[in-house]
Amino acid sequence: ISICRDLPNIEVITFSVNGISDLEPLNQCQNLSELYLRKNNIASLNELFYLKNLPRLRVLWLSENPCCGSDPHRYRMTVLRNLPSLQKLDNQAVTEEELSQALVDGEEITAPPARRSMENGCSESTESSAAESTTETASELLNFSLEETNKIREELGMKPVPRDKFSSFSPRETDCNRKKRNNVLNAILLLMKELDAEGLEIIQQTVGRRLQALRKKELQEE
């Protein structure tokens, strides 16, 4: 998620099922309108502090994180009190009545979490975060990431990525590196929407040269 510090103009971010616990890198994304963070390791609603100054944020999907707790009403009211510009929370439309009730039942967040995580999304988790993360299998993570990536590629008019190509990670590769790779891939695909034909041709040529260099290296190592 640290890549978001370098993407101030990004409008849609999909980081569901990625073991994310820290939302601080998002506070510079002033054009962000949709944020999908389902099934991560966000332990505290105080992380919403970093989203409060994002003027265009309208859609947030935060469910199935430890911060949601056991009281769904309190959770929803707290989110809406701190992010009153939301139009949809967890795939459910926000009503005017809810926004009014949130002023009574929601908790105002005025400071970031006291306990900060390490950089790059590979932090030490709290006990609740660790327990939550163990419920996600590697297969589920891969399937979700593949689905999200192919959805973006479809919007860009690109062919879907075959599963055998998407899952060809080295057995020695850590979960953290795999998640970072998926995050970078999604960010690149989203940014490609901003390019014209000339820009896409440059990307195509650059990728072609990169692939040739990698294949040449692989042949040399064999």
Task: State yes or no: pLDDT of 193 exceeds 80.
Answer: no
Place of tokens 């100054």: 53
Whether the model clears a pTM of 0.85, i.e. scores above it, the answer is no
**What contacts 138, CB < 8 A, 6 or more positions away?**
175
Tokens of 175: 């979960």
Q: Is the CB of residue 52 less than 8 Å from the CB of residue 27?
A: no
- Per domain, the residue ranges of the chain are 2-105
In this predicted model, what pLDDT tens digit does every residue of 50-91 receive, in sequence order? 999 999 999 999 999 999 999 999 999 999 999 999 999 998
The pLDDT assigned to 123 comes to: 43
Whole-angstrom distance, CA of residue 51 vs CA of residue 13: 13
Give the model confidence (pLDDT) of 169-189 as tens digits: 444 445 566 666 666 676 677
Please tell me what DSSP assigns to residue 70. S
Residue whose entry in the numeric block shows the structure tokens 């469910």: 63
CATH of 2-105, one of 1.10.510.10, 2.30.30.50, 3.80.10.10, 3.90.1150.10: 3.80.10.10
